[in-house]
């Protein structure tokens, strides 16, 4: 069910900011923008979340006109604190990608859409597959339909996932690997990506899909452990709670730092060579899960790692090993990950030493 939509009364109005209703009425809705001849109008769905707000910060620093749309759904990573330092320079609309009229209104006139809004929980997708399909499939279709109806269609950059791939046949995984998702989330992300390419092929809308690995860093939610596990471990280590590792923790992942991911989204959005393609985005380094936990404890300076049995439902959908080869993306755009795990974890710890309470008590600070 769509929980909020276009009605102006429902949006959160940041202090002194004009609202969505003003924009619809054709009034000047964005003030204080740095005027640039090449300023691009950017829409970010899921814009209060970890990756969306990080992309927003970069857009603002480049003088782009930014609109964020976010439904502020639980239990995901939206946080007004994520945009505290740019709130005067962005327009925020509280709304849902499942609302087609809202997407029509927001996408039209945008030059670039970073489509980050998603149901992001793998286990949630198994418990509530309909919700996952509504947000991840129908929500993406709404963005694409809105782009199709636009006089000048925007570039649509999609946040895909390694979850689309499933358990790899060979490592490192590259774009030629077959897709065999092990959960509903992966299946719906795959469907959304296929919608993307169909809309490019049939309607000429420029699209890019970046299949992200495990992203970590400042501004990721710290209140739940069902995704963003590195950040969750850091919260637990900082607050004296156990850092719980399922089984022996010998599965492997590819952890990629947020600044590298933001750079990847920019290179994809403003580079025609990337259009119409899917790329893996990761560090290219295979890290044992337990070693990641140890790295977090080292950076925080305290924390106790505790091994607990794998929950049965989780074990069924868990991937044993994963790491990607990013040659295709590097060849197209010049991108490569620059931040190693030790440095990235240290920077993340520095951020949360200062701001942890704003993530543990979201909305109250
Ligand atoms: N963080 C990772 O490691 C990772 C890995 C692979 C893919 N991704 C993808 O990257 C994107 C961003 O993830 P994130 O880590 O920033 O998560 P996040 O939870 O911090 O941000 C997602 C945001 O989307 C919003 N949202 C959810 N449903 C919505 C809806 N129906 N309408 C409007 N807004 C809605 C949430 O309120 C939240 O603010 C997602 O598409 C996710 O699937 C993330």
Choose the residue to mutate in 100, 118, 260 for probing ligand 1, maximizing ligand atoms within 8 Å of C-beta. Answer: 118
Identify the CATH number of the domain in which residue 96 sits: 3.40.50.720
Task: Indicate the pairing of strand 255-257 with strand 214-216.
Answer: parallel
* Secondary structure of residue 44 in the 3-state scheme: strand
- In a domain, residue 243? The reply is no
What tens digit of pLDDT does each residue of 333-364 get? 999 999 999 999 999 999 999 999 999 988 65
Summarize the confidence of residues 218-226 as an average pLDDT: 93
- Percent of the chain whose pLDDT exceeds 90: 84
Phi, psi of 55 (to 5 degrees): -65, -40
Contacts of 268 (CB under 8 A, 6+ apart): 157, 208, 210, 274, 279, 333
Residues with C-beta less than 6 Å from any ligand 1 atom: 45-46, 48-52, 70-73, 76-78, 96-98, 116-120, 135, 139, 159, 161, 212, 214-215, 221, 228
Rounded to whole angstroms, how far apart are CA atoms 225 and 122?
11
Residue 44 has pLDDT above 70, yes or no: yes
Residue 9 has pLDDT above 50, yes or no: no
SS3 content of the chain, % helix, strand, coil (to 5): 40, 15, 40
Number of domains in the chain: 1
In the numeric block, the tokens 């009605």 are attached to 7
Residue 21 has pLDDT above 50, yes or no: no
Residue 218 has pLDDT above 60, yes or no: yes
Rounded to whole angstroms, how far apart are CA atoms 266 and 275?
12
222, 49 Cβ separation under 8 angstroms: no
- In a domain, residue 1? The reply is no
The atom number, within ligand 1, closest to the CA of 98 reads: 31
Residue 241 has pLDDT above 70, yes or no: yes
What tens digit of pLDDT does each residue of 93-102 get? 999 999 999 9
- In a domain, residue 300? The reply is no
Distances (CA, A) of 188 to 27, 271, 307: 38, 26, 32
What tens digit of pLDDT does each residue of 252-290 get? 999 999 999 999 999 999 999 999 999 999 999 999 999
The atom number, within ligand 1, closest to the CA of 54 reads: 16
For the full predicted model, state whether its pTM sits above 0.85. Answer: yes
- In a domain, residue 53? The reply is yes
Distances (CA, A) of 58 to 194, 200, 264: 28, 26, 12
Measured in Å, residue 296 CA sits from the centre of ligand 1 at: 23
Choose the residue to mutate in 1, 50, 53 for probing ligand 1, maximizing ligand atoms within 8 Å of C-beta. Answer: 50
Q: What residues make up the domain containing 112?
A: 8-215+256-282+323-340
- pLDDT of the residue at 74: 94
Residue 86 has pLDDT above 60, yes or no: yes
What tens digit of pLDDT does each residue of 187-214 get? 999 999 999 999 999 999 999 999 999 9
The atom number, within ligand 1, closest to the CA of 117 reads: 24
- In a domain, residue 101? The reply is yes
Tokens of 328: 């295709």
Going by pLDDT thresholds of 50, 70 and 90, the confidence category of residue 19 is very low
């Amino acid at each position: 069910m769509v929980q909020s939509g276009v009605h102006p009364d429902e949006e959160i109005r940041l202090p002194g900011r004009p609202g969505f209703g003003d924009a619809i009425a054709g009034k000047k809705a964005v003030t204080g923008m740095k005027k640039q001849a090449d300023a691009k109008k950017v829409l970010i769905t899921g814009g209060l979340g970890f990756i969306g707000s990080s992309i927003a910060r970069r857009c603002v620093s480049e003088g782009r006109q930014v609109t964020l749309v976010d439904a502020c759904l639980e239990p995901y990573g939206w946080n007004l604190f994520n945009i505290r330092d740019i709130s005067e320079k962005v327009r925020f609309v509280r709304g849902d990608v499942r609302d087609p009229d809202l997407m029509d209104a927001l996408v039209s006139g945008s030059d670039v859409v970073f489509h980050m809004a998603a149901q992001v929980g793998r286990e949630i997708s198994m418990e509530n597959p309909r919700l996952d399909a509504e947000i991840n499939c129908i929500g993406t279709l709404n963005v694409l339909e809105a782009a199709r109806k636009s006089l000048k269609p925007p570039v649509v950059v999609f946040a895909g996932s390694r979850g689309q791939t499933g358990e790899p046949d060979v490592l490192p995984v590259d774009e030629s690997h077959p897709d065999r998702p092990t959960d509903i989330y992966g299946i719906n992300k795959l469907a959304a990506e296929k919608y993307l390419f169909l809309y490019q092929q049939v309607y000429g809308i420029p699209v890019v899909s970046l299949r992200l690995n495990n992203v970590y860093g400042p501004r990721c939610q710290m209140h739940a452990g069902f995704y963003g596990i590195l950040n969750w471990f850091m919260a637990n280590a900082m607050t004296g709670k156990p850092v719980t590792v399922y089984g022996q923790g010998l599965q492997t992942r590819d952890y990629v730092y947020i600044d590298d991911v933001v750079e990847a989204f920019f290179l994809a959005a403003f580079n025609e060579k990337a259009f119409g393609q899917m790329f893996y985005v990761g560090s290219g380094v295979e890290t044992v899960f337990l070693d990641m936990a140890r790295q977090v404890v080292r950076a925080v300076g305290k924390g106790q790692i505790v091994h607990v049995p794998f929950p049965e439902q989780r074990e069924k959908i868990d991937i044993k090993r994963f790491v990607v080869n990013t040659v295709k993306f590097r060849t197209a755009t010049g991108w490569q990950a620059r931040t190693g795990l030790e440095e990235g974890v240290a920077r993340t710890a520095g951020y949360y030493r200062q701001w942890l309470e704003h993530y543990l008590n979201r909305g109250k600070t």
